[in-house]
Amino acid sequence: MTIDLGRPAVAATAVRKAYGDHVVLDGIDLDIPAGSVFALLGPNGAGKTTVVQILSTLIRADAGEMRVAGHDVVRDPDAVRAAIGVTGQFSAVDGFLTGEENLLLMADLNRLPRKERRQSAADLLARLDLMDAARKPAATYSGGMRRRLDLAMTLVGRPRVIFLDEPTTGLDPRSRRTMWEIIRGLVNDEGVTILLTTQYLEEADRLADRIAVLHRGKLVAEGSPEELKRQVGGGHVTLRFADPRGYDHAARTLDVVSRNDEARTLQIPSQGDVRSLRALLDWLDHTSLTVDELQVHTPDLDDVFFALTGNPVTEQEPAR
Amino acid sequence: MSSVSRTVSHAWADSATMLRRQLRHMLRYPTLILTAAGVPVVFLLLFVYVLGGILGTGLGGPSGGRDAYVNYVVPGVILMTVATAAQGTAISVAIDMTEGIVARFRTMAIARVSVLTGHVLGSLIQTLLSIAAVIGVALLVGFEPTADFGEWLGAVGVLVMTILALTWLSVALAMVAKSVATASNMLTPLMILPMMGSGFVPTDSMPAGLKWFADYQPFTPFIETLRGLLMGTPIDDSATLTIGWCALIALGGYLWAKKLYNREPNK
């Protein structure tokens, strides 16, 4: 597989889409270098899925220039389809067929040579940890298994650009972690380009080289995870003190972000790493202050949105 | 290979793949074939044993009675099987359209219409199997076709034409329907049409208005052609009408279904 480094795998300018009066995308620009992972971060209804649907030729944009893998999305959709793979939010597997039959179906539709079909199916079943369930109908799979089969089906055609629309939404923490490992492996081993959408800052942070934040149909921020977090501000540690004396002492001595005198809690900036926590605990020990409760808070999507838009996620427009 | 012939060969290959998908579904759930044959068989038995004694005499033939009626009603029941199976096709297409798998197919570089072609060809096979089951039961209850080998082939040809026509129509209707239940309901009138034609009684016995409808609706020539081939009754212009109706319905259904499939999926 050739990786055309330097050439964008996805390039889009001024993409607009509206349903009647409801503007879903209000002029989106994307520039995703080949071989990288790009995360589109936003709450429900921000327009993330619409971006994926437009770039994967499923629906048409009202306006804008879009090229995927070098091909124009509007003028040459079949060339785009031949280069991409899509794993959507809703599982796109045939529940009546077994996992193996689903993969063989994809092998046929991708016109793999007869000898390679079974090998490709077997490889993907092994890689996505589906060997034990290979002969069972997909309708009997758990959510995590369905999602893995879905991704395996996407990989049969060896796509150069992969769209993952909320790949871990609705999965339990363990399945989510497995999925992250698989996605990371894809990028490291095969050099594919991935555009993923997610509601979870942690997910974007783990997987993406660059993150763009989508808010009411516009990109309100873009950068590496570090750049974004710097914009957002770091996390903090919350300490609740047992007695007023200790509270006062700590409030005077420590670098405090905010305080609540009634609850006797202090917020202290911290990245939540072991070293700074140990330093804090050592100091508390040393000064013999009694702390009833300690909470470590890492920045999440709420913080990002609060920092970028002044609104928490819950107050976002409940769009489609 | 030129790009046109490559497109055509891809369309064939993709349709064959989609047909294999349908056949797998069928093998996994063989009860579908029996269900599609079940309703017509029940009607066959009801009409032959409950009503057949009187209706057979009413036909005014030399023998009369139940034995004559079996031979009269079987072509109608066979067309009813085609209509029942078309309803089954509509349901399975409607289910498919609500699943994510079709969205996946739409983002793949495959012949767009192959998903639908697969459904239609799969239904063709399934319907022929159901008809074979119905004919089997009919033979057990006294059906005595006079057809020779050539006429049997002709009968199969007529059935393939009507199945393709009604199936393409039902695929289109299934995509108009927004839900599986609506798809099922939309096809119900199709099952009543054989009764409002020459399927169960001669149209001459009907009141004027109904007779007019019965004589001109497509199921009557379908049934008359089939009856002529199986039982040696006169066919006249029914064969031409059948070919015309089938070509019209099949082409119309195909183009309609294709247009609906290519329309943007609404969210």
Task: Indicate whether B107 belongs to any domain.
Answer: yes
Contact A137 B17 (CB under 8 A): no
As a whole number of Å, the end-to-end CA separation of chain B is 39
Query: Given pLDDT bands bounded at 50, 70 and 90, which one contains residue A281?
Result: confident
pLDDT digits (tens, 9 = 90+) for A67-107: 999 999 999 999 999 999 999 877 789 999 999 999 999 99
Q: What total of structural domains would you count in chain B?
A: 1
- Gap between the Cα atoms of B42 and B236, Å rounded: 31
Q: Does the beta carbon of A35 lie under 8 angstroms from any beta carbon of chain B?
A: no
The token duo for A200 is 């979870």
- Gap between the Cα atoms of B160 and A23, Å rounded: 49
- Gap between the Cα atoms of A213 and A208, Å rounded: 12
Mean pLDDT over the full length of chain A: 86
User: Is the Cβ–Cβ distance between A285 and A183 less than 8 Å?
Assistant: no
Of the partner residues A79, A93, A94, the one whose CB lies closest to the CB of residue B21: A94
The token duo for B205 is 């016995």
pLDDT at position A132 is 92
Contacts of B264 in chain A (CB under 8 A): 58-60
Which of A43-47, A265-269, B95-99, B136-140 is the most confident on average?
Answer: B136-140
Task: Please give the share of chain A, as a percent, with pLDDT higher than 90.
Answer: 42
Contact B103 A88 (CB under 8 A): yes
Domain that holds residue B228: 3-262
Task: Indicate whether B247 belongs to any domain.
Answer: yes
* Residue ranges in chain B modelled with pLDDT below 70: 1-3, 61-63, 265-267
Give the CA-trace dihedral at A89, B11, B96, B43, to 10 degrees.
180
Place of tokens 């990002």: A304
Residue A237, CA distances (Å) to A258, A275, B65 in order: 11, 13, 94
- Gap between the Cα atoms of B81 and B62, Å rounded: 29
Residue A273, CA distances (Å) to A237, A276, A277, A278, A280 in order: 11, 6, 6, 9, 11
Q: Does the beta carbon of A137 lie under 8 angstroms from any beta carbon of chain B?
A: yes
Distance of residue A117 Cα from the nearest chain B Cα, in angstroms: 13
pLDDT digits (tens, 9 = 90+) for A124-155: 999 888 999 999 999 999 988 999 999 999 99
Task: Indicate whether B243 belongs to any domain.
Answer: yes
Task: Indicate whether B59 belongs to any domain.
Answer: yes
Taking the CB of residue A76, how many other CB atoms lie within 10 A of it?
A: 15
**Running DSSP on this structure, what letter comes out for residue B49?**
I
- Checking if the pLDDT of A121 tops 90, the result is yes
Taking the CB of residue B226, how many other CB atoms lie within 10 A of it?
A: 26
Query: Under DSSP, is residue B184 helix (H, G, I), strand (E, B) or coil?
Result: helix
Of the partner residues B20, B25, B100, the one whose CB lies closest to the CB of residue A92: B100
- Gap between the Cα atoms of A149 and A155, Å rounded: 10
Task: Indicate whether B267 belongs to any domain.
Answer: no
Task: Indicate whether B167 belongs to any domain.
Answer: yes
Distance of residue B4 Cα from the nearest chain A Cα, in angstroms: 14
User: Is the Cβ–Cβ distance between B77 and B226 less than 8 Å?
Assistant: no
- Gap between the Cα atoms of B219 and B196, Å rounded: 9
Distance of residue A283 Cα from the nearest chain B Cα, in angstroms: 56
- Determine how β-strand A8-19 pairs with β-strand A236-241: unpaired
| Site from A55, A56, A94, A169 to mutate, B interface, most B CB atoms within 10 angstroms | A94
Q: Interior CA angle at B102 toward B98 and B107, to 5°?
A: 140
- Checking if the pLDDT of A302 tops 70, the result is no
- Structural domains for chain A: 8-230 (3.40.50.300), 234-298 (3.30.70)
Query: Given pLDDT bands bounded at 50, 70 and 90, which one contains residue A316?
Result: very low
Residue type, B204: D
Contacts of B99 in chain A (CB under 8 A): 92, 94-95
Contact B100 A93 (CB under 8 A): yes
Burial class (CB in 10 A: 0-12, 13-18, 19+), A226: exposed
Of the partner residues A19, A84, A108, the one whose CB lies closest to the CB of residue B107: A84
Task: Indicate whether B240 belongs to any domain.
Answer: yes
Nearest Cα to A80, choosing from A54, A102, A113?
A54
Please enumerate residues of B whose Cβ is less than 8 A from a Cβ of A. Answer: 10, 13-14, 17, 20-21, 24-25, 28-29, 99-101, 103-110, 264-265, 267
Distance of residue A135 Cα from the nearest chain B Cα, in angstroms: 12
Residue A232, CA distances (Å) to A201, A235, A303, A305, B175 in order: 11, 9, 6, 8, 47
Contact A157 B108 (CB under 8 A): yes
- Gap between the Cα atoms of A46 and A64, Å rounded: 18
**Running DSSP on this structure, what letter comes out for residue A316?**
S
The token duo for A143 is 């959510």
- Gap between the Cα atoms of A128 and A150, Å rounded: 10
Query: Given pLDDT bands bounded at 50, 70 and 90, which one contains residue A317?
Result: very low
Query: Rounded to 5 degrees, what are φ and ψ at A129?
Result: 60, 50
Residue range A252-278: average pLDDT?
A: 82
**Running DSSP on this structure, what letter comes out for residue A23?**
E
Residue A54, CA distances (Å) to A17, A57, A60, A130, B183 in order: 9, 5, 6, 31, 29
- Checking if the pLDDT of A320 tops 70, the result is no
pLDDT at position A315 is 45
B7 vs A110: which has the higher pLDDT = A110
Task: Indicate whether B85 belongs to any domain.
Answer: yes
Q: Does the beta carbon of A65 lie under 8 angstroms from any beta carbon of chain B?
A: no
Buried b (16+ CB within 10 A) or exposed e, A233-249: eebbbbbebeeeebbee
Contact A94 B267 (CB under 8 A): no
ipTM of the complex: 0.85
